[in-house]
Amino acid sequence: MKFMKIGTKPDVFYTEEATRSVLSDVPTDLVIIVNNTRYLLHKFPLLLKCGLLQRLSSDTDDGGTPTPVSLHDFPGGEEAFELCAKFCYGIAISLSAHNFLPAISAARFLRMTESVAKGNLVMKLESFFEACILHGWKDSIVTLQSAGRLPTWSENPRIVRPCIDAVVEKILTHPSKVNWSFTYTRPGYNQKQHRSVPKDWWTEDVSELDLDLFRSIISAVRSSKKLQPQLIGEALHVYTCKHLPDPFKPFLAAESSAATEETLTKNRRVLESIVSMIPSDYGSVSGRFLLKLLKVANQVGASPSTKAELVRRSGRQLEEATAEDLLFPSPTHPSSFDIGIVEAILENFLAQQRRQLGHEERERMAGAMARVAKVFDSYLQAIAHDPHLSVTKLIELAESLPEIARQDHDELYHAIDTYLKEHQELSKEERKRLCRVIDCRKLSANARSDAIANDRLPLRTIVQLLFVEQERARRASSSRGTPHHRPSIEITNNRAEGPVAGVKPESRETMRMERSRSVSELKAVKKEKEAVKAASSGEKLKVK
């Protein structure tokens, strides 16, 4: 960080009774009021260098008691005025990027130009700006930060625009040529252990800027087309983490509901600006980041167009998500989830499958489909705890993926089992409808073993599992070239007896109880046995 020192005299300003004065043997003859501070000063040093005070003082000079000169809405406030006043007295002042903008704004306001006095403050500050601030990375960033804190920063194009250009020029510099200090505090990164500069070295410093200044820099960098879209996306990710609430933070929803409208408006503006700056290139930001933005959009009440854009882009990269990323809190039931938004995301993902794709794109989508199926089944298992989730909706969700998407049904089985465990009030018919979603042939040996012993599954599902188990055992025996004698399976009401893998032997008391079931139930068992025989003879097993 560069500094400039002007003046040599010691500081003689002091405060007494809420008034700032100068320690001097000469009586004060100039009273200036800046905002809420009263200054008792001298005309001789100030009027020599301040064109504005020359004019104002002549208008009020009547030869008697000095009339106070009021400077309302003074740029930079009292501190900036005092810097200019000390310069006029020759008192030593130190200037840097931290106070440069307020100082030059105040000096220009007071008309401390070369036309008033040679070597005046405006000229010295402009020289410092050109020679030091624009050449330093941190100096330019800090100057822009100061500009963002001033309500009239846009009125300083001669300062702001050159700083933006200087920052963009350094961002576009090849990392191997970066030799200035920068902020990079990512977890796990130790700059001393890395000789090379990371490609995203600039993102943290730029993220400290006001939104409009940040947007100007990102727009300039994007228009140059010299940086990869992923670097632009990383800058947006860093800015989001610093300026938007974390949707995964506990109790965030309660905090958001109690937040002021001003905070919500600010967050909404930041979010919508971030979304508008995301490059259109696939993978410029991660799918998880898009889903995070979508959660924030729900919390801050973003516009429908912003939400629709995030849903569309999240669908394109759904394979990068986790089950937790898809858990959107319901706006009506705190303990439930917003399933509609996930359905919309999945629909956007599946829409890609229906387009005409090239060979490479088809291969990518095939792998993406398999990953989405695993994530989606884990998501189903998570929402199965939702007390407001109906059987029909769960079936719709489970069947929304095409059949080829799931290589196995283990996770789907666990999701359905979780739902049966959490919703024990389901009728027998509802259990049957739900379990029809499971393809028993796509269950692993462990999952089949668990399912066969699962009291929550309906009888017809158990029969299917037993048949699959028997067929697999027969094929395994045939592949070894040894004769296989099909075991005799006697089916009771909800279990099968016989040497079938994964079937636990029942106690005699349990068997007696099962055989005492009603005649109607035994007839149902008989139909299931007929289905097993039909399937073993080569017919397709159908379970209604």
Specify the pLDDT at position 61. 56
In eight-state DSSP terms, residue 195 is: S
Show the CA angle centred on residue 237, arms to residues 236 and 238, nearest 5°.
90
Separation CA 397–CA 418 (nearest Å): 15
Amino acid at 129: F
The residue type at 302 = A
Buried b (16+ CB within 10 A) or exposed e, 186-214: eeeeeeeeeeebbebbbbbbbbbbeeebb
Query: First CA to last CA across the chain, in angstroms?
Result: 78
Q: Which two tokens stand for residue 101?
A: 């903008």
SS3 336: coil
Is the CA virtual torsion 130, 136, 137, 138 positive or negative?
Answer: negative
pLDDT for res 364: 74
> Do residues 198 and 189 make contact, with C-beta atoms less than 8 angstroms apart?
yes
Burial of 345 (0-12, 13-18, 19+ CB in 10 A): buried
SS3 label, residue 367: helix
Q: How many Cβ atoms sit within 10 Å of the Cβ of residue 419? A: 23
pLDDT of 154 reads 61
Can you tell me the distance from the alpha carbon of 281 to that of 297, in angstroms, rounded to the nearest whole number?
A: 22
Other Cβ atoms closer than 10 A to 72:
7
CB atoms closer than 10 angstroms to residue 65:
8
- Using CA atoms, how far apart are residues 97 and 76, in angstroms rounded to an integer? 14
CA nearest to 57, candidates 38, 31, 81:
31
Confidence (pLDDT) at 100:
95
Which residue numbers in the chain have pLDDT < 50? 251-258, 484-522, 525-526, 529, 532-533, 535-544
State whether residue 192 is helix, strand or coil: helix
pTM score of the predicted model: 0.82
Q: What is the pLDDT of residue 500?
A: 38
In degrees rounded to 5, what are phi and psi of residue 519? -65, -40
Cα–Cα distance, 286 to 238 (Å, whole number): 13
Measure the CA dihedral 342/343/349/355, to 10°. -160
For position 124, what pLDDT does the model report?
97
HSE-up of residue 263 (Cα within 13 Å, Cβ side): 11
The per-residue pLDDT for 514 is 39
